[in-house]
Amino acid sequence: MSNELHDLLGKGWKKQPFIKRTWLRWTIYAGFVAYLIAAFSTIEVNWSRVYEGLDRGAAFVMAFTRPDFVSRAGDIWTGMAESIVMTVAASVVGIAISIPIGLGAARNIAPLPVYLICRGIVAISRALQEIIVAILLVAIFGFGPLAGFLTLSFATIGFLSKLLAEDIESMDRVQAEAIRASGARWMQWINYGVQPQVMPRLIGLSMYRLDINFRESAILGLVGAGGIGATLNTAFDRYEYDTAAAILILIIVIVMALEYLSGIIRARVQ
Amino acid sequence: MPVLEKDDTQIWRRRTRGQALTHWAGWLIGTAIFVYCWQQISGATTWFFVWDAPRIAGDIWTRATPPRWEYIAQLGRPIWDTLNIATLGTLMALVMAVPVAFLAARNTTPSRLFIRPIALLIIVSTRSINSLIWALLLIAIIGPGVFAGVIAIAIRSIGFCAKLLYEAIEEIDHTQVEAITATGASRWQVMAYGIVPQILPAFAGISVFRWDINIRESTVLGLVGAGGIGLQLQSSLNVLAWPQVSLILLVILAFVVVSEWVSAKVRGAII
């Protein structure tokens, strides 16, 4: 029946494949399957160990229902305060440094040598991971929040300068030219021609980066760079899951609050 | 228009007096908070170490150069493990993120009152906790190794992928869905022919983007014992083998740059 219909109508409709070239599609599929087989064959999973651990996993999940904020309240409080202090200070310094670098990394307002230097700084800062930078800075500056503060500032520069530069590059030239035509000096030109165009996005990105910095500050303590991470690590090491759950809940709540706040601020400036 | 009266002439101002005052008050409070934070940091710092830092940095630099090139022979397996942690972790995350995203999107969720908040909670909680913390936790539960790393990356990525995906689902063109519904398609058929084709490019983009991020994150998971090249980094740091550390850092840099290049290429091909 359907064959007769096919003869009458020609070919039936078929769903379009996502990758159009047949050979490419099959090569990708085959390569992917081969990779999966290779990957799975090299992963060693100690299933009996996993099975033993399931009890502890359940204990941890249960700990979320009765988090213990009290017995280590002092440690949690100092750690949290240090994390927040690091986040705020590093965000302020990072944003302050990334504005000139962002200006320099925008091709339409910076001369080529400045552009190359600033892009180089951005590339270095983006390629190095926070935790690796933190390890090196702890080795150099010693334990404590200063290393964490420097790490977060350094990471902020790469993130914010790049996005700011991209925003400046895609700005409307006409407005900036109008300011320049009125005989403005360079600083005035930036201040009245460029800044109003990128300000809403800069504020939005800064809030987003504040949020990221707080999340990152939670792990810097693992390598001795200050913040709540050290307390959390100790809690895990001592199998105090209820304290760990309390810390994680605090982190989640603060991140949620920051996201909510940045949502409000972004809605207001845009 | 805010103006300033001076000798009977009007001068243009950017802000009125009230605006200017609130502006300055904002700056004052902001500066005060920053100064307070800086004092806290400064109080917790041993400044002697900081003044000594240039010498220490120079010292580490002389120890770390030149990198111990022959050590690279031992890094093949850790790099392969790192790649596996990132790739398998991303795959597992995507498998879990898709249902969560459909449950979280306003236009596909079965119940806005009960299921959507739960899906959003999953997204927020997995996203706000760093993969290193997940790894720490999983090592306590299932023991150290690559497997813990894969799961840590997977859990951490669910929130990220699901968030971007559910935003894509909410932005779909509704007329196409309606057209499929009008042909008498079932709920699942509407999903397969009306919604999925619209979000597939976004999905592919998100996967590659997250994979790139996961490569970066998986390079350091070993620091807490979750496998990959971070393990070598940690053990080299522990024995202060700086020439090995510098080589590992170079390898990680190269690896990250290559993964970024691959992801940029693939995303370019999709879009």
Best residue of B51, B137, B180, B191 to probe chain A, by most A CBs closer than 10 Å: B137
Name residue A106's amino acid.
Answer: A
- Over residues A203-210, the mean pLDDT reads 89
Residue-range domain boundaries for chain A: 13-42, 70-269
Q: Give residue-wise pLDDT tens across range A65-124.
A: 888 888 888 888 888 999 999 999 999 999 999 999 999 998 888 889 999 999 999 988
The Cα of A7 is separated from the nearest Cα of chain B by a number of Å equal to: 24
Interface check A219 vs B, CB under 8 A: yes
Note whether A207 and A199 are within 8 A (CB). no
> Are the beta carbons of B142 and A50 separated by less than 8 Å?
yes
> Are the beta carbons of B220 and A53 separated by less than 8 Å?
no
Note whether A119 and A107 are within 8 A (CB). no
Interface check A60 vs B, CB under 8 A: yes
Cα dihedral B240, B130, B206, B77 sign: positive
Interface check A69 vs B, CB under 8 A: no
Interface check A140 vs B, CB under 8 A: yes
- Per-residue pLDDT band at A260 (split at 50, 70, 90): confident
Q: Residue for token digits 């510098």? A: B246
**Dihedrals phi, psi of B192, to nearest 5 degrees:** -70, -35
Q: What is the pLDDT of residue A60?
A: 80
Residues of chain A with pLDDT > 70, as a percent, come to 94
Minimum-distance CB partner of B249 among A50, A132, A229 = A132
Q: Give residue-wise pLDDT tens across range B72-81.
A: 888 888 899 8
Q: Which ranges of chain A does DSSP label H, i.e. alpha helix? A: 2-9, 22-42, 47-63, 73-104, 112-127, 130-141, 145-169, 173-181, 186-189, 195-220, 229-237, 241-269
Residue A20 has pLDDT above 80, yes or no: no
Q: Name the pTM for this structure.
A: 0.83
Q: What is the pLDDT of residue A8?
A: 64
Q: What is the pLDDT of residue A3?
A: 66
Interface check A14 vs B, CB under 8 A: no
What structural domains and CATH numbers belong to chain B? Answer: 3-63 (no CATH), 74-270 (1.10.3720.10)
User: By three-state DSSP, how is residue B73 classified?
Assistant: helix
Best residue of A93, A130, A141 to probe chain B, by most B CBs closer than 10 Å: A141
Q: What is the pLDDT of residue B35?
A: 92
**pLDDT averaged over every residue in chain A:** 86
- Per-residue pLDDT band at A229 (split at 50, 70, 90): confident
Task: Spell out which residues of chain A touch residue B85, defining contact as CB-CB under 8 Å.
Answer: none
Interface check B237 vs A, CB under 8 A: yes
Residue A22 has pLDDT above 60, yes or no: yes
The Cα of A56 is separated from the nearest Cα of chain B by a number of Å equal to: 6
- Over residues A125-135, the mean pLDDT reads 87
Residue of chain A minimizing CA distance to B60 = A140
Q: What is the pLDDT of residue B13?
A: 75
Let me know how many helices (H) and strands (E) chain B has, helices first: 12, 2
Chain B residues 121-140 within an 8 A CB cutoff of chain A? 124-125, 127-130, 132-133, 136-137, 140
- Over residues A172-183, the mean pLDDT reads 87
> Are the beta carbons of A255 and B256 separated by less than 8 Å?
no
**pLDDT averaged over every residue in chain B:** 87
Tell me whether residue B240 is exposed, middle or buried, using C-beta atoms within 10 angstroms of its C-beta: 0 to 12, 13 to 18, 19 or more: exposed
> Are the beta carbons of A43 and B84 separated by less than 8 Å?
yes
Q: What is the pLDDT of residue B95?
A: 93
> For domain A70-269, which architecture applies?
Orthogonal Bundle (1.10)
Instruction: Give the C-alpha separation, A226 to A248, whole Å.
Output: 17
> Are the beta carbons of B128 and A82 separated by less than 8 Å?
no
Best residue of A135, A208, A232, A237 to probe chain B, by most B CBs closer than 10 Å: A135
Interface check B41 vs A, CB under 8 A: yes
Q: Splitting chain B (271 residues) into consecutive groups of 10 residues, what average pLDDT does each group show?
A: 71 80 92 91 83 87 85 86 92 93 87 87 87 86 87 92 91 89 88 87 89 89 86 88 89 88 83 65
Note whether A223 and B130 are within 8 A (CB). no
Q: How far is CA A105 from the centre of its chain?
A: 20
Residue of chain B minimizing CA distance to A19 = B270
Q: Give the list of residues 6+ apart from residue A208 with CB closer than 8 angstroms, or none.
A: A262
Gyration radius (Cα) of chain A, Å = 26
Instruction: Give the C-alpha separation, B152 to A83, whole Å.
Output: 23
